Amino acid sequence: WERGDPYDVEEVPDAVIPAASKKITSISSPLRAIVRLRRRYQGLKKSRLLLQRQLSQYFTFDTSVEHYSVKKSRRKKSRRKSRMVLYPDKTKKYLPAEEKSKAKRCLLLLIAIIFFQILNAIENLDDNLQKYDLDGLEKTMHREVFGQKVAVESIVELLKDYLATHIHNKPLVISLNGPAGVGKSHVGWLLAKHFRSVMDNDFVLQYFVMHHCPSSVDPLTCEIDLSQKISDMVTRAEIEEKTPLFILDEVELMSPVLLDTLSRFFEPNQTNEFLNAIYILISNLGGAEITKFVIQNASTELLYQQRGAEELLSTIQPVLASVHPLWKAADIIPFILLEKSHVINCFLEQMRREGLYPDQKHIENLANQLTYYTTGDKQYSRMGCKQVVAKVNLL
C-alpha cells in the first residue's frame, strides 16, 4: 500500500499475493466497487451544477410554482390529519358533524311567514282598489268637473286611503263646502253613479234634505227614517263585505235633530259595521268665507299652493264648528269660485249632452249674460255654472 488515497490499490498478480492478503482482497473488492460508484455520482453531480451555472446566464428557472404546490399539498395533509382522531380501538374516525341550531331554523321560517303575509296584504290592497276602480273615477271627475282640480285630487286621495282595506277604526266623512254652482252637487252625482256601477244600487244612498225631509215634516220623523236607512244599508254591506256610500246634500238645511243623529254615526266608538262607511256632506256653509278669500288672493298664486289651502281651511273650520260639532270629525274640501273660462266649458259640455252644435261665439254670448266678480284681469262667476242648464234649455 502506498501513501495517498487509501482506496487506490494497485492490482497484483495472484502468484505474488500471499494467502492472508487474498482474504483481505476478497473482502475489500465490494468496498472498492461502492467507492467507485460514489465517485462517479459526485462527478456527475459536479458536472450538473456546472452546467446549470453556465445555463443560468442565459435562462432562468422559476421553481416558486413547484414550492407553492408542495406547500399546498402539505397543508391539505395537515388539515386532514387534524380532523382525524385516534380512538382506543386504533381506528381513524372523523370528528362528528356540528349540529345546526333549531332556533335558527325557526327564525328563518318565521321571517318567511311574515314576508308572505306582508305580500298577501299588499295584494289585497291592490285588489280592493281595483274593485272600486278609483282611477277611472278620477279620470271622469277631472273630465267633467271644471276649475276644481285640487278638490278632486283631495277627494280621490281620501277614498284611496280608506278603501285600500275593509277594516277601519272610524267612518270616512268628507265635507264639500263652497258657494253655489261650483260643482259640489255634480261631484256627489258622479260619486253616486260610479259606486252604483262598481257595487250595487243597494249600497248607495243619495239623501236630499228638501226632498226627503221638507219643512212640513216633523224632524223626529226624518231622524227615525234616516237612522233606519243608514242602519239597514250598513248591515247589508257588512254581510257582503262592501263599503256603503251615503251622499247627504243640502246639509245646511238639516235640523239640529238630524245633525245630532249623523254625529252619532260618525263616532269611532261603534260596532265594526258602522265604522266601515263613507259619508259625503254637501253644503253651502263657508261659501261666503271662501268667496272673500278667493277675491282677496286672486292676483297671487296662493290659491294653488299648499299654504293657501291651509289658510283657507283655517278660515272655514271655525265657521263649520260653530254650526255643529260633527264637522270636527270631517275632512273638509273647499270648492273655490269658477272663472269665466270654466263657465264656458260648462256651456260646451251641457250643449253636447243636449245634442246641440257648440258654436264658440254663441257660447261666449251666453256666458256674457251671467254676472261676475272682477278682480284685475280675472272674472269669477257669482253663481258658478248653476244657470247654465237653464240658459241651454232656452235655446
Q: What is the pLDDT of residue 261?
A: 92
Q: What is the pLDDT of residue 16?
A: 46
Q: How many whole angstroms from its chain centre is CA 384?
A: 40
Residues in contact with 223: Cβ distance below 8 Å, sequence separation at least 6, in sequence order: 257, 258, 261
Residues in contact with 321: Cβ distance below 8 Å, sequence separation at least 6, in sequence order: 327, 328
pLDDT tens for 188-207 read 999 999 999 988 788 999 99
Instruction: Give percent of the chain with pLDDT exceeding 70.
Output: 77
- Nearest of 213, 154, 218, 181 to residue 373 by alpha carbon: 181
Task: Enter the C-alpha cell of residue 281.
Answer: 256632506
Between CA 341 and CA 345, with CA 342 as vertex, the angle to 5 degrees is 90
- Nearest of 329, 340, 332, 339 to residue 283 by alpha carbon: 332
Task: Enter the C-alpha cell of residue 120.
Answer: 298577501
pLDDT tens for 18-73 read 554 555 555 567 777 777 787 887 888 787 777 777 766 655 555 454 555 555 56
Q: What is the pLDDT of residue 356?
A: 85
Task: Enter the C-alpha cell of residue 236.
Answer: 247589508
Cα distance between residue 196 and residue 51, in whole Å = 104
- Characterize the bridge pairing of strands 84-86 and 92-94: antiparallel
Q: What is the pLDDT of residue 380?
A: 94
pLDDT tens for 138-194 read 999 999 999 999 899 999 999 999 998 877 889 999 999 999 999 999 999 999 999
pLDDT tens for 246-282 read 999 999 999 999 999 999 999 887 777 789 999 999 9
- Checking if the pLDDT of 339 tops 90, the result is yes
Q: What is the pLDDT of residue 14?
A: 47
Q: What is the pLDDT of residue 182?
A: 94
- What rounded mean pLDDT belongs to the chain? 81
Q: What is the pLDDT of residue 73?
A: 61
Please answer whether residues 134 and 156 qualify as being in contact, where contact means their C-beta atoms are separated by less than 8 angstroms: yes
Q: What is the pLDDT of residue 104?
A: 76
Over range 69-79, report the average pLDDT: 58
Pick the residue with more confidence: 379 or 85? 379
Q: What is the pLDDT of residue 17?
A: 46
Helix (H, G, I), strand (E, B) or coil at 110: helix
Q: What is the pLDDT of residue 6?
A: 44
CA neighbours within 13 Å on the CB side: how many for 381? Answer: 27
pTM over 0.85: no
Over range 216-228, report the average pLDDT: 92
Between CA 261 and CA 155, with CA 250 as vertex, the angle to 5 degrees is 90
Over range 10-18, report the average pLDDT: 47
Q: What is the DSSP code string of 226-256? A: HHHHHHHHHHHHHHTT---EEEEE-GGG--H
Q: What is the pLDDT of residue 103?
A: 76
Pick the residue with more confidence: 325 or 306? 325
Least confident of 228-237, 292-301, 374-383: 292-301
- Checking if the pLDDT of 122 tops 70, the result is no
